[in-house]
Amino acid sequence: MKGTRSLVFWLMAVGVALALPVQSHAGAPGFDDKEIRIAQWGPQTGPAAPWGSVARGSDLIFKMVNDEGGIHGRKIKYFIRDDQYNPAQTKAVVKELVERRGIFAFVGGVGAACGMAVKDYLAENKVVWVGPSTAINEYVFPVNPYLFGIYPLYEDEASVLTKYVVEKLKVKKIGFFYQNDSYGKSGLTGCKQRLDTYKMSLVEEIPVEPGEKDLSSQMLRFKNSGAEVVIMWVNPTTATIAVKTCATIGYKPQWVSSNTLSDFPLMNTITGGLWEGVITGGFGVPPDSDHPLIVKYREAAKKYAPEERCGTFYLAGVLYAEPMIDALQRVGPNLSLEAFLNALNTTKDFQGIGPKITWTPDVHQGTDSIQIQQCGPNGSYILLQDWVPNELATWKKM
């Protein structure tokens, strides 16, 4: 009895292991006459899983392209791999994709450390990477010939937002609440850079660890400092707790935040309506607008992915893939790595649902422009300011 049970169990375990598919496409260039293989990693499970919709969003536009006949006769074969937001796993899945499947290009890709872990590997293997889903200076400075950044740098975004706060809202007392990592710190740098030009300084700056669930003491500090505007550079969960906590202690500053928190319908629901009035940066056209492309994507999402909520992150996945498809279209039927790189390097003022993107062989940071949006009633979007670049951006002067 004892033996049989464990034997059966063991057989099951072995069976599962054998059931793994072993199929290989290993085509070195990553494309052939029928298909172009494109991939993305993204956390589909684990603590960062809400960002997973970015990778699934890119799937939408590839499906649309394929249904319209592909790119010059080639279909796009798209792979998504779950890395659980863990750089060790990102490297594992990226190696598997590149060496076993043969990948032409990567698109998107969430996670600063995850991207840093595979950045050099991708460049060594001459795999193009377009539109990392996070802004890290190390990605684009110095120029990496295979990496093309779209996401506006957090410094630029914070700088533009701070300018808006000081000049339009005419606020003197500003607090800054940031996640203790490269995302939050870049935001802080940008904000301070801007404030220096006005000879102003922050009344309070408080870091937070990403997983913290009790923020009472931090919020009380902001209340005590008398900040009228609190700029926050944190993740959605932390932001929700912060806003709720402030409501409990009777403190109502004007919240300003990065585009990471610009998914208003979601934020408004999970904060129980407290998100109304919050101002954020925006790096894509709002999902509820009547921009022709957005309308097209919304319709497509209903058809191809009825389960998905067509929110900011989902559309971000589309946004990262747009310039890549544009470049592939321009290359024409004679696809090659050099031709593709050349097409990307000559992208000038391309605009989809994001800002205008320009890449030259010397600058691979595509943009520094953001919109400024405000959350209206029921999570609707109010556009406060259209695309504005950061005139202080240090990298443009190089």
For the chain, the straight-line distance linking the first and the last C-alpha, in angstroms and rounded, comes to: 75
One of 17, 18, 28, 398 touching another protein (CB under 8 A): 17
The reply to whether 236 sits near another protein by the rule CB under 8 A is yes
Q: How is residue 274 written in tokens?
A: 């407290």
Q: Is 391 in the site for another protein (CB under 8 A)?
A: no
Question: Whose Cβ is closer to another protein: residue 132's or residue 352's?
Answer: 132
* Shortest separation between residue 151's beta carbon and another protein, angstroms: 16
Nearer to another protein, 56 or 192 (CB): 56
User: Cα separation of 198 and 345, whole Å?
Assistant: 37
Q: Distance between CA 38 and CA 200 in Å, rounded? A: 47
Residue corresponding to tokens 């991708």: 122
Total residues at the site for another protein (CB under 8 A)? 84
Residue 39: both structure tokens together: 């991939």
According to the binding rule CB under 8 A, does residue 87 interact with another protein?
A: yes
Distance CA(265)–CA(268), nearest Å, equals: 5
Site map 238..277 versus another protein, x via CB under 8 A: --xx--xx-xxxx---------------x--xxxx-x---
Question: Footprint of another protein on residues 187-206 (CB under 8 A)?
Answer: 206
Closest listed residue to residue 271, CA positions, set 303, 246, 301: 246
The residue from 27, 49, 298, 384 that contacts another protein (CB under 8 A) is 49
Q: Quick check: 50 binds another protein (CB under 8 A)? A: yes
Q: Which is nearer to another protein, 113 or 382 (CB)?
A: 113
DSSP sequence for 120-132 = HHHHHTT-EEE--
Our CB check for another protein shows the closer of 114 and 325 to be: 114
Task: Report the candidate in 131, 79, 40 with the shortest Cα–Cα distance to residue 354.
Answer: 131
Task: Residue 223: count other Cβ atoms within 10 Å of its Cβ.
Answer: 18
Q: Which is nearer to another protein, 156 or 205 (CB)?
A: 205
Binder of another protein out of 11, 14, 69, 120 (CB under 8 A): 120
